[in-house]
Amino acid sequence: MNYLFTSESVSEGHPDKVADQISDALLDQILAFDSNSKVAIETLVTTGQVVVAGEVKSQAYVDVQEVTRNVINQIGYTKAAYRFDGDSCGVLTAIHEQSDDINRGVDREEKTEQGAGDQGMMFGYACKDTESYMPLTLDLSHKILQELAVIRREGKVMTYLRPDSKSQVTVEYNDSNEPVKVHTIVVSTQHDEFDADEPMLAKIKDDVINILIPRVKAQLSEEVQALFGNDIIYHVNPTGKFVIGGPHGDTGLTGRKIIVDTYGGRGAHGGGAFSGKDPSKVDRSAAYASRHIAKNLVAAGVADEILVQLAYAIGVAQPVGVFVNTYGRSNVGITDGEIAEKVKAIFDLRPAAIEERLKLRNPIYLESAAYGHMGREPKTITKTFESPYSGKVTKELELFTWEKLDFVDTIKETFGH
């Protein structure tokens, strides 16, 4: 019997994502001038106020106020009417040095034996729903909000848009876990107050259905476009009004959107957040590594759907466990346990090896802090960072290295597939 599955996304202007972007912008600024830094930065945002706290061990100096205000302005919180804007909000800083008790378990004289920055389990997932090997529900949810942000910045249509928004997509699947059709789309977007409630809501809903969704569909493959029928259920700003939003409408915290950041509820999540953490924290680096493994396994044809778990003990280099689940959709004649053993033979899963393989000791994290860390397009960009004490540095950087399909041939050879 067919079933329904749902995933959600939130925009860059959602208060939790504002917090994530501030944390990752600060991380990038620190790594740009000291790649060996140890960083764990948390951010809270609320009406007219930002609080930045955490632990940092670094030779770099960061102007926390300037970086924070730049992020907020770039997102689009630039008006006093929002009750939260980059030029006038307060910025409180409570950052201190990383605990020596934690650091002694991480740093080693032999770099390759660097211990994990914490205990925990991390999951990677991939499936054949989309060209990016991501669940269709989450992929569509992200694309809706990314395009909504493009429309907002263009300022030509839907000129009433404000930065805060959320989306949710429900897809009908068959018993083979293949998408059959898009069932329900929910879009809630913050907006200016430009009319009486009823005609205002009608205008926004009409624009979402007739401007936003067609622009999203145009980006999709023919196979996915075919899933959009005339019977889709739309809920647009279902409360009827969404003028008060952003950090003024709801307090935001770093790490509170970990399901949006990963697989939209498909697969599993170990519970650790990403943003604001340097890659010695396996919450981040091993989550990227497990996605890299899962995506390459599916792309190589080992399975049509796969979940990879890595687990670590603090201060220990080798993972304490590697687990694979193919959900009965394996294409090779061996058990999931045997697949896991081959994964351990192919991939060096020590934290230092993951950092090196995926080039994680670089200032590449702000771009991951909104619209998902997984399923993004790997690309090379140039970024420039300035410091009042260290001058200016320009770096050519690879983004989303964990999305590269660079182990497919090795996997095919190992599995004889």
Positions at the binding site: 14, 16, 42, 55, 98, 164-166, 241-242, 250, 256-257, 273, 277, 281
Binding site for ATP: which residues? Answer: 14, 164-166, 241-242, 250, 256-257, 273, 277
Longest dimension (CA), the chain: 67
CA distances from 93 to 18, 26, 30, 195, 387 (A): 16, 12, 15, 40, 18
Give exposure, 71-80, as e/b (b: 16+ Cβ within 10 Å).
bbeebbbeee
Q: Which residues pair with 44 in a beta bridge?
A: 51, 253
Pairing of strands 161-173, 90-96: unpaired
The owner of tokens 């397009």 is 377
Q: What is the C-alpha separation between 23 and 43, in angstroms, rounded?
A: 6
The owner of tokens 């790490």 is 255
Residue type, 129: D
Instruction: Please provide the distance, in angstroms rounded to a whole number, between the alpha carbons at the two ends of the chain.
Output: 32
The owner of tokens 């020596």 is 100
Name the DSSP class of 303: B
Pairing of strands 90-96, 120-127: unpaired
Binding site for Mg(2+): which residues? Answer: 16
Binding site for K(+): which residues? Answer: 42
Name which of 409, 387, 199 is nearest 296 in CA terms.
409
Q: Interior CA angle at 242 toward 162 and 199, to 5°?
A: 100
Rg (CA), the chain: 22
Binding site for L-methionine: which residues? Answer: 55, 98, 250, 281
Q: What is the C-alpha separation between 379 and 177, in angstroms, rounded?
A: 30
Using CB atoms within 10 Å of the CB of residue 35, give its burial: 0 to 12 exposed, 13 to 18 middle, 19+ buried: middle
Q: Interior CA angle at 142 toward 131 and 173, to 5°?
A: 60
Neighbouring C-beta atoms of residue 90, cutoff 10 Å: 10
Task: Look at the alpha carbons of 288, 292, 298, 303 in this order and tell me if their dihedral is positive or negative.
Answer: negative
